[in-house]
Amino acid sequence: MKTETIYSAGIDIGTSTTKMVVSRFVLKNVAGITHVPKIEIIEKSVLHQSPIIKTPFISKEVLDMEKIEQFIFQQYELAQIAPTAIATGAIIITGESATKENAREVIHAISDTAGQFLVATAGPDLEGIIAAKGSGTMQQSKNTAKVIANIDIGGGTANMAVMQFGEVIGTCTLHIGGRLIEFHQGKILSISPPIVKLMEKWPNPLVVGDAADDVRVAQCIDEMVLTLVDVLNGQLTDEQHPLLLGHLPNWHKPVDVVVFSGGVAACIYDNECSMRQYDDIGEKLAKRLVAHEQLQSFIWIKPEETSRATVTGAGTQTTDISGATIQVDADVLPLKNVPVFNCYMDVANRSFDDIIQLAVAQADALFSTEDHLSPFALYFNELPYLSFQDVHTLCEAILHHLADRSSSELPIIIVIQSDYAKIIGQTIQAINHTVPIICIDQIKVETGDYIDIGEVLPSGVVPVVVKTLAFHSK
């Protein structure tokens, strides 16, 4: 196979800013002539970086979808790429923007119009991981035993991803960001709900209209930084902490290195804060982070990207390529937002039929409603060695429990980490040629993940984006 080119877009709609990148991926079969094809992305390059604009709102609680779409299509024109040329990528709605009334509507509307195959994603854990990839921290961690925390601080949240040897070992998200207290003409214009909650126990909390240089503003910033230090030192254990968004820190190794990315990080490194045209606490927060004595006990590493870390990660780091030994019904592609259920193949204790029956029942309980069956993907993560008879028996079990319900809207979707996809997909079609089947391999997922599967590329593979889809609340 000669090289093949596909195009990707990354869009980040954040609390403070919105930005976009358009990238080019080059694919190639890296296996030898006599080996099973192995298609990999051998080159990634950013073709166009948008300017960073202030995220448009109609009101405090409603995003301006029309202006966001206008911005996106303007960037396609500047990149000289048609939306129909986009094969993969990600739209990320981050921070406080993900809590707005029309966040879900915006993300899905854009994903349907801004490219043939742009995925809609949200969720603070995923944001932190994507930012760590886009900042270059993930790549750096592959070359060291040190535990590195990438802390992406934007307008509304600090998304943390902790990694070692290139693997994520934990995540945490905090209500720490530059826009949580905003000013206008020397007075406080707005205070974010998490900060209001933080001050509930104060004898005299800040209110809108207080002076921007009030000492209690600095006290709020100190509380944010101290909370971040507690997280990094493994000392935050209060599940109800007002600055905690979601779960407690879930890594179990001491952090050695910190890397800051995001808009606030632009104020930390190289005096880039002049790029940030906002009247809020962002610059003061950055200065306090740099000056804090306990934070200085960690090793600091400068990222490759600061303000653009998340959008760069979304545009260049979210896509995997399936194996070449797959079997797919091209008529039902692309598929978006398909939930994954991990089907444990403990064949030593149970038959294939029992395993599939239980997995389908559990997946239906998770993803379907009483009057609506939802498509889902079964993930076979620990398949034992399969003889030809084993393959046939497994396929009969799959058809026994899924064939009657299958349709173009409910195809049978199987994801396998090993190289059994083609033989399983072909065997299912040989037994019953009427069922639509998507059987892909060399992809690693877990229950709770969602996957998007793109259209078949000329090389016979499909682009796959694995994501967590969760719109968090305040």
pLDDT in tens, 409-463: 889 999 988 778 899 999 999 999 999 999 998 888 877 788 889 888 888 888 9
Q: In the structure, what pLDDT confidence band is assigned to residue 233 with cuts at 50, 70 and 90?
A: very high
pLDDT value at position 181? 96
Question: What is the three-state SS of the chain?
Answer: CCCEEEEEEEEEECCCEEEEEEEEEEEEECCCCCCCCCEEEEEEEEEEECCCEECCEEECCEECHHHHHHHHHHHHHHHCCCHHHEEEEEEEECHHHHHCCCHHHHHHHHHHHCCCCCEEEECHHHHHHHHHHHCCHHHHHCCCCCCEEEEEECCCCEEEEEEECCEEEEEEEECCCCCCEEEECCEEEEECHHHHHHHHHCCCCCCCCCECCCHHHHHHHHHHHHHHHHHHCCCCCCCCCCCECCCCCCCCCCCCEEEEECCCHHHHCCCHHHHCCCCECHHHHHHHHHHCCCHHHCEECCCCCCCCHHHHHHHHCCEEECCCCCEECHHHCCEEEEEEEEECCCCCCCCHHHHHHHHHHHHHHHHCECCECCCCEEEECCCCCCCHHHHHHHHHHHHHHHHHHCCCCCCEEEEECCCCHHHHHHHHHHHCCCCCEEEEECCCCCCCCEEEECCCCCCCCCEEEEECECCCCC
Check: CB of residue 374 under 8 Å from CB of residue 412.
no
Model pLDDT, residue 204: 95
Question: What is the pLDDT averaged over residues 156-168?
Answer: 92
Residue with the two structure tokens 């809108």: 208
Mean pLDDT of 139-150: 94
pLDDT band, residue 474 (cuts 50/70/90): very low
User: What is the per-residue pLDDT for 73?
Assistant: 94
Would you state the pLDDT for residue 473?
Answer: 45
**For 4-121+313-319, which CATH class?**
alpha beta
pTM greater than the 0.85 cutoff: no
Pair of tokens at residue 425: 């997909």
CA dihedral 380, 385, 390, 392 (to 10 degrees): 60
User: Can you tell me the mean pLDDT for 280-303?
Assistant: 94
Cβ pair 422, 439 in contact under 8 A: yes
Distance of CA 378 to the CA centre of its chain: 21
Determine how β-strand 86-93 pairs with β-strand 119-122: parallel
- Output the average pLDDT for the chain: 88
pLDDT at residue number 418:
79
How many other CB atoms sit within 10 Å of the CB of residue 167? 9
Closest CA to 418 of 3, 32, 36: 36
Token pair, residue 78, equals: 């500047």
Mean pLDDT, rounded, for 92-97: 79
Mean pLDDT is lowest, of 11-15, 62-66, 82-86, 277-281, for 277-281
Tell me the HSE value of 13 on the side-chain side, using a 13 A CA sphere: 31
Residue 457: name the closest of 49, 116, 190 by CA.
116
Decide if 87 contacts 116 (C-beta within 8 A): yes
pLDDT above 90 covers a percentage of the chain that reads 51
Tell me the per-residue pLDDT of 314-341, one tens digit each, with 9 for 90 and over.
Answer: 777 777 888 777 889 999 988 888 889 9
238-251 pLDDT, tens digit each: 999 999 998 999 99
User: pLDDT by residue (tens digit) across 363-419?
Assistant: 888 887 767 788 899 998 778 888 899 999 999 999 999 998 888 888 999 998 877
Distance CA 389, CA 378 (A): 21
Structure tokens at 423: 């033989």
Fold for domain 136-304? Nucleotidyltransferase; domain 5 (3.30.420)
Q: Please state, in angstroms and rounded to a whole number, the distance separating the CA atoms of residues 332 and 437.
A: 9
pLDDT at 272 exceeding the cut of 70: no
Question: Could you identify the residue written with the tokens 């693997």?
Answer: 167
Lowest mean pLDDT across 36-40, 120-124, 198-202, 263-267: 120-124
pLDDT of residue 469 exceeding 70: no
Least confident of 13-27, 107-121, 288-302: 107-121
pLDDT in tens, 57-70: 999 889 999 999 99
- Neighbour-count burial of 146, counting CB atoms closer than 10 A to its CB (0-12 exposed, 13-18 middle, 19+ buried): middle
Asked whether the CA dihedral 93, 122, 76, 153 is positive or negative, the reply is positive
Give the pLDDT confidence score for residue 141 in this predicted structure: 94
335-343 and 450-453 beta bridge pairing: antiparallel
- Rg, Å, the chain Cα set: 24
Please, which pLDDT band fits residue 120 given cuts at 50, 70 and 90?
low
pLDDT at residue 260, rounded to an integer: 96
pLDDT for 300:
96
State the first-to-last Cα distance of the chain, in angstroms, to the nearest integer: 50
Residues 6+ positions from 204 with CB-CB distance below 8 Å: 216
